[in-house]
Chains A and B, each alone.
Chain A
Amino acid sequence: MWLSTRGKILALITTTVITLVLLTAFLQAQKVSFGIIFLIVVLGLSLSYLQIYKLFRPLNQLLENLAPLDGIRALPYDQYQPMSIKSGDEFGHLAEVFNRVLLDMKKLVEREKEAVRDLLEVVDAIVHGDLSKRAPVQSKDELGKLAEAINKMTADLQRAQDEIKEYQRDLEKKVEERTRELQNVNMRLRREMAEKEDFLRAVSHDLGAPLRNILGIANMIERKFGNELTDEVRDRLRRISKNAQQELELIAELLELSRIKTRRQQFEPVDIKQLLQQIQDNLSYALEEHNIQLVLQNNYPVIIAEKNRIKQVFQNLIDNAIKYIGERADPRIEIGYANFNGMHKFWVKDNGRGIRKEDQQTIFHVFRRVKDPKIATIPGKGVGLTTVKSIIETYNGEIWVESELGQGSTFYFTLDKMTVQDAA
């Protein structure tokens, strides 16, 4: 549109040359008036051009500044330079306005950038867990509102965190208190258990000592004066011994019963099949005497438990079955096992005389025996089933009986698999 400097020089030289050639031609043709007129026209045109140039130069500069490359694409705001047009006309005024707008825009952008940086700093602190920083609120615009929102959020977070900390401290204090209380209770229980143990020891010793003496003396009389005694006296001495002996055994059993829950024994793998075979061997005399068939299964588990206590459970139940089986043609005791809802379920089933409904609960209570004149002569103290129940309860198990008079009885019991782990 506008000529370059080189173009302008070329245009000037061309114009000057043409003017000079034409002027020379006019002078040679002695047409001076034409020459003068022509010179005036050229001068007039030159002056007009200068005037136009002066008019468009600031416009040109403005355009170059706004879109220096192709006049279409806008520059990033910070690459605009202030214009240096010092003229006092409209163009000068326009440039000044442009400069001021540019400056304001730069300032505004810088301020917003700074505000965003501040916000970012606060957000970064929050991300890293520092809730103490607050964003400065410098304006009422969106950024200012954002800063306020962030500050409120941070304050809320801080409060929530403080509350959680307070709660945690409270909780810790409570746990500490409870622990102390539990420790106290535990200590008291231990002390009470030790006292109970001492008491039982003393009771067992003091109850047992005179009985042992009675037994000893009765025996010693027989030993020392045996030849001088009549059969009647010897018979009475034996009755003394028998009674004292029973009482001593009862004391021992009661002592053992009272220790089942307080004094746990060593846990070890217990092969139930082996255990039952052992019991069978021990009871072989009694079994043969009554012609009883003891039927064992093949599927008994191996459990981790107190061997002697588990043995006592089976022993007492089988003993009872033998004692109360009564007279019949084919006496039979069967030991069963099944896996049952996370429990080991065992049963001791006999085909003996059976137990009346009203007796089925009370037989598990200590010193409670079935009131039946037919079995009153069978020796027993009413501790055996209580001991069995007590042991089973330490394994979170249960014991119950199903029975019908004349048909036999089945004693079921369970052992919790969580308390008796299966041996690997």
Chain B
Amino acid sequence: MELNKLVNILLVDDDEDCRMLIRDAIESAHIKNHIDEVADGKEALDFLYQKNQYANAQRPGLIFLDIDMPIMNGIETLKVIKSDPQLRWIPVVMMTAITDDKEKRLAAENGANSYTIKPTDPMRFIDTVLSATQYWLGIHQYPEEIIKGP
């Protein structure tokens, strides 16, 4: 599959090991897109708005967003992203360990593009993440301005 090489990926998860696993999985599938990592929602917004240490950050074309995070959780972060006309085009894949209908609905209502559950079998989760990556980077057509950035 020919992937859109211009698209960067942003991983938002407070669990460093989990980030490493996702990165490993993406790399092991020979996906060469650039991956940035941040540990919570506030950092993610700093990254997206190029604030503080992220002044030179490149706008991502795909976000993996964990829900249970300290400082600012995934749902709050999602709300900000999806209410900003500059950012709302970026596909956001929510990640959670909890199968909770309320949370699923909340994510959907706030414009999540996908909702994945970290199941008891982590390899299934890794495969899900890979499928999501391949879909958004390989099949989805981005508007030009997302790729070019501000």
Which of A's residues lie within 8 Å of B, judged by CB? 201, 204-205, 208-210, 212-213, 215-217, 219-220, 223-224, 245, 248-249, 252
Contact = CB atoms under 8 A, between A and B. Distances in A.
Interface stretch (B15-23, B32-40, B57-65): B15-23
A215 B25 CA distance: 13
Given A205-B68, A220-B21, A248-B120, A212 B97 contact: yes
B18 to A, nearest CB: 6
Interface stretch (B45-53, B77-85, B121-129, B131-139): B121-129
Contacts of A248: 120
Given A205-B68, A220-B28, A249-B120, A213 B21 contact: yes
Contact of B120 (A217, A223, A224, A252): A252
Given A215-B122, A245-B121, A205 B21 contact: no
B88 interface: no
B62 to A, nearest CB: 20
B122 A216 contact: yes
Contacts of A210: 17
B28 A213 contact: no
Contacts of A223: 28
B118 interface: yes
Contacts of A201: 98, 100
A203 to B, nearest CB: 11
Given A205-B98, A209-B15, A216 B28 contact: no
Contacts of B120: 208, 212, 245, 248-249, 252
B75 to A, nearest CB: 14
A205 B121 contact: no
B21 A217 contact: yes
Nearest to B120: A248
Interface residues of B, number: 19
- Which 7 pairs between the two chains have the least Cβ-Cβ distance? A216-B122, A213-B17, A248-B120, A216-B21, A215-B122, A212-B122, A220-B24
Interface string B90-109: 00000001101000000000
Contact of B24 (A204, A215, A224): A224
* Residue from B24, B98, B121, B122 whose CB has the most chain A CB atoms within 10 Å: B122
Interface string B1-34: 0000000000000010110110011001000000
A249 B120 CA distance: 7
Contacts of B125: 212, 216
A220 B15 contact: no
A44 to B, nearest CB: 138
B97 A217 contact: no
B97 A208 contact: yes
A399 B25 CA distance: 47
Nearest to A255: B98
Contacts of A249: 120
A205 B97 contact: yes
A69 B24 CA distance: 136
Given A205-B68, A219-B123, A212 B98 contact: no
29 contacts: A201-B98, A201-B100, A204-B98, A205-B98, A212-B18, A212-B97, A212-B118, A212-B122, A213-B17, A213-B18, A213-B21, A213-B122, A215-B121, A215-B122, A216-B17, A216-B18, A216-B21, A216-B122, A216-B123, A216-B125, A217-B17, A219-B123, A220-B21, A220-B24, A223-B28, A224-B24, A224-B28, A249-B120, A252-B120
B39 to A, nearest CB: 14
A224 B24 CA distance: 8
A249 B17 CA distance: 21
